[in-house]
A and B are shown apart, each in its own frame.
Chain A
């Protein structure tokens, strides 16, 4: 490794956006043939740095060297010319097009003096590339018809087709199933073995430990450290990433369990494609309990939440709240029955961003007699209500007339939590409640969830972050392909074991055995 040539060097890069410095005098070095992880929290500036390298942003200060030549990368075209390719987190694929059409787009092979696309050559080239790197992609398939994992491979092929030697992967595992993750890691290894160099943007320590050679940690725009993975450990990396010692322990007393408050029995729910997203799922949630639902994204969690809140029809089984059947009820009746939801996507589902805070505070209760009379809204009562919640939950907003849009992410989330907890629900469903927030807001929210449980209510925590699940839950059920495949106590398990369950341990090629394949 020491002998390897430096293929990319970024020196003293500074990039400012209105209000923040996204990259502050950042240095980054990539050697040939290595997998180099770029680690940081949400908003730490890792994507910005890589977007600069790919020419999507221009830095205010700093220099970039590619293959030891100083370069100015003024757009993706230039980056591509320099042999840099990017596999975007949100795939940039044209869905009605075929795999090949997507790959050749912008650099099409032509015939008849440029008057037509040479489709035959195109399909052959793509087929050969796919074979060469073991990607196993059908050049003739339409994007609509292939899986997410395959779509990612098309993205990889796009960069290879353009002759990329340096590949940037932006959070590549976020949308993949465990199998797909393990296959991706093999592919990445394969690429490096054939002379490519890879930058892996991620905030997942496990991936870094499994695959990366080097890791560079970025925090609030500053590069904190750059070191070989072999000489570090997850705890050290986490500390560097967050900036202080990270305790995975949260102060909470033992759970005092009460009556079952939510009983889900052999629930069947159809997903978007009409297949069963939930397959006879059963679990019980008791008063005084935080039940964590662990699983890889896309294993039925969204459908479960939607079924529990009345947004998705139930095809079979039962959901009982306090012994009363609620399956198939309307969202409003379920809300009245005692279920509240902190939705996963707060902008899409949680708030009306154009509305002032006060109107957002009554989103689910506006129809109740305390907020309106004879069909007219009682804004005096609504204002009092909103003022109280803002105070109690420390929502930082200039006034209750401020549009929700103007609040920071953390305060928007606090506003939602205030509204939902104030409904005094027997069951509070928290879906990814801390996604994209800074550490302070995360701690506040965790505290509130624990308080809720301490007061004899129940919390159902759905999260894709194992750390969060382990830290908060009193009990954990693992969901895999719409089934509950595990039921454990956090004190009696660890993320290794949970990880195996999440990938369904009955199958030998679990996502964590990847080190051995190298």
Chain B
């Protein structure tokens, strides 16, 4: 029990918590300035999420891809890489799943797994490009992954437009039912909310993340590479291979987010002019979750809930739902600059702990 309390009073848990509170406060202040009632708005948000089975189910649907992309970014962070490319890997995951889902017709027990695997591999390989460029040419992954996001966007549009387009629809053909991973009976209990197997895979991914990084030999190697590549070389670990492997796994996780959006939610892939935002949300989730598996899960639940519930705010309190983007942005901002929080605490409580540095 004592240990539990300690875990929640550590900096690592306090900072995100205060960040969330401050983020919600920033949102409230902005709503007040805009002449809205923030309490009513936040209540409407919760009403929306927990108000009826359908919306609750849809909230779960909104949370799922965030778990995957959050884990993707967190995994890369743990191995010393900043994967801004979860967005592109997500898009490639969608594309892989769509290609298989649309163009083949197989028994479901082959078709669905194949679509999942191919989509995941698409995402993984897309991540691996940045890993390879870093390992082989020393190119910083931040810029390459940003660029790869946009390349993925246009590449996916090209594939959908030129090969998979259902005439006159602005999207691909629908995924063959044999590749569909929705859970019909569960959906029906939740008033046809789009519930799919990806949710369980997301939980499995959380467990995988923990076990792989902290219990396996390969995980140990990747963590050494991430924290100190020079020491890794001395220890006989192949750093370049580690970087490529880490980006592949990270990309696979992000790819899975896209895979299940296609096979479990949309059942098609649309042509889009701008990024979906799931990859960027993944960065937010990872940062909020302190790059720990449980933290990522909690972060995804929070951001998924906020994002889905935002629609309720506009319905119940007439607040433009974009306010939630400001809230989420502020939360990450405070998490990323914990100095601001410490500075604030100091102002508010007025006492300075010894040796404290902002």
Contact = CB atoms under 8 A, between A and B. Distances in A.
* A and B in contact, CB less than 8 Å: yes
A349 B217 contact: no
A354 interface: yes
B224 interface: yes
Please report whether the interface of chain B is mostly helix, strand, loop or mixed according to DSSP: helix
B234 A343 contact: yes
A363 B215 CA distance: 15
Contacts, number: 63
A367 B218 CA distance: 9
A364 to B, nearest CB: 5
B355 A372 contact: no
Interface string A336-377: 000001010000111111110001000110110000100111
A18 B220 contact: no
Given A348-B231, A353-B228, A375 B218 contact: yes
Q: Say which size band chain B's interface belongs to.
A: 10 to 19
Contacts of B221: 366
B354 A363 contact: no
Chief secondary structure at chain A's binding surface = loop
Contacts of B218: 375
Most buried by A among B219, B221, B230, B234: B234
Range for the number of chain A residues in contact with chain B:
20 to 34
Interface stretch (A145-153, A195-203, A222-230, A327-335): A327-335
A83 to B, nearest CB: 34
Interface in A375-410: 375-377
* Residue in B215, B236, B355 with the greatest tally of chain A CB atoms within 10 Å: B236
A299 interface: no
A311 interface: yes
Contacts of A335: 236
A309 interface: yes
A352 B354 contact: no
B231 A351 contact: yes
A348 B235 CA distance: 12
A377 B217 contact: yes
A18 B219 CA distance: 37
B231 A350 contact: yes
A311 B223 CA distance: 20
B220 A354 contact: no
B288 to A, nearest CB: 20
B325 interface: no
B234 A367 contact: no
A348 B233 contact: no
Given A18-B354, A359-B220, A364-B236, A376 B215 contact: yes
A311 B217 contact: no
Contact of B235 (A18, A363, A375): A363
A331 B232 CA distance: 10
Given A332-B236, A350-B231, A366-B235, 10 more contacts: A309-B234, A331-B236, A348-B231, A354-B227, A363-B224, A363-B231, A364-B234, A364-B235, A364-B236, A377-B216
Interface of B: 215-221, 223-224, 227-228, 230-231, 233-236, 354-355
29 contacts: A18-B355, A309-B234, A311-B233, A331-B233, A331-B234, A331-B235, A341-B234, A348-B228, A349-B230, A350-B231, A351-B228, A352-B224, A352-B227, A352-B228, A352-B231, A353-B227, A355-B223, A355-B224, A355-B227, A363-B231, A364-B235, A366-B221, A366-B235, A367-B217, A375-B217, A376-B217, A377-B216, A377-B217, A377-B220
